[in-house]
């Protein structure tokens, strides 16, 4: 059994062999010890200890507590936390203290989980390496000269380094799955609409999804069950009452058909990455699944469509940062126009400015039909590819990312090379589907490889069931970087 699973920690807490306060102190000490990873933008030791003490008091009083009660974790700094600075990895929001909690923050607080702080991330979740953060790059716990992936790089590094058993993330084009793959952990992106986006700082609203980074599929299931569910404050939130994925993990996989998508193994996929993913698929076969060769003919258009639609939506969402109401305000402005332009020039980093320029251009009169409308049509074709494939298979599989974690600085000067890191993940967001990245061993360079499994909309239970069965049969997800407590 996984010695660090949420279920085992929960059992220790329930038996009062350990207290929430002790676990919180331990997580805070580990975060301090691993400060070189730069995985946190801030630690909130006092608030965390206060929350832990109140859970311990409730337990001592015999209160009925949920499975996450007393478990330390961390929030990606994209989730608004009442009274606690929320930067979104940007200088723009350096001093922004939200007056309210995000839905995900509320839910995890209600479940009794103890947030120890806010994790590092690419600025406004734009990136695949965590290098666009205004608070500096984060490092990969497996090799500190490598990126942890992005944009939820801090969350992935914090889990992989054993600081916390799970962390929240967001996934607009791969930002939960790709860092999970690079850091050798499990990352779940739910169906669009499954988890409310209320209070999650917007990047590309039709693609943004809250997700979970944890050690295993079973742990992801517990957290998903806590954060999923209808919320009237998000107009795209979907009502699906009474679904609990954590209860559905032990189904045998006999009869499960897994479509192996040819396109996900083509192009720039590292040979040893493809090899490890095929080995993981053979394990799933041993668990009873059938592998079926499938094609997703429009897969190679996904990056182009995504990098029109995401910047278009970002240019609109980020128009709110004008130096007037909140966020960075330029000190030297002499006119209203200058207040806008200087505040934005000073507050936003290079990648965010690039996305705003691209998005504004793609939406402008004369270009809208050529770029934005066309990208939306391609988006439809990509969704139809998945629908056609799911008529014949239950899940779709491939490598999460084409390579293992690259070196810090290796791609930061080449936007297109960076965008190519998302080649196998962005289509899932364009179609709004749930997907998971699970560890699939190590490439020849010793770095973790991730297997991506994709399910039809709202089939998270099937997805987590397959991932859990794989993890029952293998121990890749139990491997930790040297020096991990």
Could you tell me the smallest distance in angstroms from the CB atom of residue 86 to ligand GLN? 16
Could you tell me the smallest distance in angstroms from the CB atom of residue 348 to ligand GLN? 14
Q: Which residue has the tokens 């993890």?
A: 471
Q: Which is nearer to ligand GLN, 211 or 456 (CB)?
A: 211
Q: Which is nearer to ligand GLN, 73 or 419 (CB)?
A: 419
Is 377 marked active-site? no
Q: Of these residues, 19, 128, 175, 216, which one is catalytic? A: 175
Q: Is residue 460 a contact partner of residue 194, using CB atoms and an 8 Å limit?
A: yes
Q: Which is nearer to ligand GLN, 72 or 153 (CB)?
A: 153
Could you tell me the smallest distance in angstroms from the CB atom of residue 60 to ligand GLN? 41
Q: Of these residues, 129, 151, 343, 412, which one is catalytic? A: 151
Is 5 marked active-site? no
Q: Which is nearer to ligand GLN, 173 or 193 (CB)?
A: 173
CA torsion, ordered 438, 442, 445, 446, to nearest 10 deg: 110
Q: Of these residues, 10, 19, 39, 76, which one is catalytic? A: 76
Q: Nearest-CA neighbor of 396 among 354, 369, 431?
A: 431
Could you tell me the smallest distance in angstroms from the CB atom of residue 108 to ligand GLN? 20
Map the chain to HEC letters.
Answer: CCCCCHHHHHHHHHCCCCCHHHHHHHHHHHHHHCHHHCCEEEECHHHHHHHHHHHHHHHHCCCCCCCCCCCEEEEECCECECCECCCCCCCCCCCCCCCCCCHHHHHHHHCCCEEEEEECCCHHHCCCCCCCCCCCCCCECCECCECCCCCCHHHHHHHHCCCCCEEEEECCCCCCHHHHHHHCCEEEECCCCCCCCCCECCCCCCCCCEEEEECCHHHHHHHHHHHCCCCCCCCCCCCCCCCCHHHHCCCCCCCCEEEEEHHHHCCCCCHHHHHHHHHHHHHHHHCCCEEEEECCCCHHHHHHHHHHHHHHHHHHHHHHCCCCCCCCCCCCCCCHHHHHHHHHHHHCCHHHHHHHHHHHHHHCCCCCHHHHHHHHHHHHHHHHHHHHHHCCCCEEEEECCCCCCCECCCCCCCHHHHHHHHCCCHHHHHHCCCEEEEEEEECCCCCEEEEEEECCCCCHHHHHHHHHHHHHHCCHHHCCCCCCC
Return residues touching ligand GLN (CB under 6 A): 125-128, 151, 170-175, 203, 310, 422
Q: Which two tokens stand for residue 423?
A: 């080649």
Could you tell me the smallest distance in angstroms from the CB atom of residue 14 to ligand GLN? 36
CA–CA gap between residue 269 and residue 205 (Å, rounded):
29
Q: Which is nearer to ligand GLN, 218 or 318 (CB)?
A: 318
Could you tell me the smallest distance in angstroms from the CB atom of residue 42 to ligand GLN? 20
Is 118 marked active-site? no
Q: Which is nearer to ligand GLN, 72 or 399 (CB)?
A: 399
Using Cβ positions, the residue closest to ligand GLN within the complex turns out to be 175
Q: Which is nearer to ligand GLN, 168 or 471 (CB)?
A: 168
Could you tell me the smallest distance in angstroms from the CB atom of residue 88 to ligand GLN? 11
Q: Which is nearer to ligand GLN, 10 or 132 (CB)?
A: 132
Q: Which residues are the active-site residues?
A: 76, 151, 175
């Amino acid at each position: 059994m996984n010695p660090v699973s949420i279920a085992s920690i929960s059992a220790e807490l329930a038996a009062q062999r350990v207290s929430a306060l002790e676990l919180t102190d331990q997580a805070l000490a580990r975060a301090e010890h691993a400060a070189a990873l730069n995985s946190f933008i801030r630690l909130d030791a006092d608030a965390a200890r206060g929350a832990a003490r109140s859970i311990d008091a409730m337990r001592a009083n015999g209160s009925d507590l949920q499975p996450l009660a007393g478990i330390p974790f961390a929030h990606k700094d994209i989730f608004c936390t009442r009274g606690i600075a929320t930067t979104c990895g940007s200088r723009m929001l350096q001093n922004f203290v939200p007056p309210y909690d995000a839905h995900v923050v509320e839910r995890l607080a209600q479940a009794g989980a103890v947030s120890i702080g806010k994790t590092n991330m690419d600025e406004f979740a734009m990136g695949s390496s965590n290098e666009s953060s205004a608070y500096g790059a984060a490092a990969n716990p497996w090799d500190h000269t490598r990126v942890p992936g992005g944009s939820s790089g801090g969350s992935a590094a914090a889990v992989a380094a054993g600081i916390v058993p799970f962390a929240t993330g967001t996934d607009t084009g791969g930002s939960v799955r790709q860092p999970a793959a690079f850091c050798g952990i499990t990352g779940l992106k739910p169906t669009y609409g499954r988890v409310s986006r209320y209070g999650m700082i917007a990047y590309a609203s039709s693609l943004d999804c809250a997700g979970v980074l944890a050690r295993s599929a079973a742990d992801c299931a517990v957290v998903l069950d806590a954060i999923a569910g209808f919320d009237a404050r998000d107009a795209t939130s979907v009502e699906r009452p009474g679904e609990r994925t954590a209860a559905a993990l032990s189904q045998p996989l006999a009869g499960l058909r897994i479509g192996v998508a040819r396109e996900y193994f083509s192009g720039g996929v590292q040979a040893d990455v493809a090899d490890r993913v095929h080995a993981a698929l053979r394990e799933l076969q041993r668990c009873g699944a059938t592998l079926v060769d499938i094609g997703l003919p429009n897969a190679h258009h996904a990056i182009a469509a995504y990098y029109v639609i995401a910047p278009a939506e970002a240019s609109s969402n980020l128009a709110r940062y004008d130096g007037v109401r909140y966020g960075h305000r330029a000190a030297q402005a002499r006119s209203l126009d200058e207040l806008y332009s200087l505040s934005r020039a000073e507050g936003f980093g290079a990648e965010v400015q690039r996305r705003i320029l691209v998005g504004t251009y793609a939406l402008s009169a004369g270009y809208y039909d050529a770029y934005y409308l066309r990208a939306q049509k391609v988006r439809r074709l990509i969704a139809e590819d998945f629908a056609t494939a799911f008529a014949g298979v239950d899940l779709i599989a491939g490598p999460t990312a084409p390579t293992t974690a690259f070196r810090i600085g290796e791609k930061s000067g080449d936007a297109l090379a960076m965008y190519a890191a998302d080649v196998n993940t962005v289509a899932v967001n364009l179609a709004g589907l749930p997907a998971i990245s699970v560890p699939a061993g190590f490439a020849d360079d010793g770095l973790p490889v991730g297997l991506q499994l994709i399910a039809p909309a709202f089939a998270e239970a099937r997805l987590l069931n397959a991932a859990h069965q794989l993890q029952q049969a293998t121990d890749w997800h139990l491997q930790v970087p040297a020096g991990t407590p």
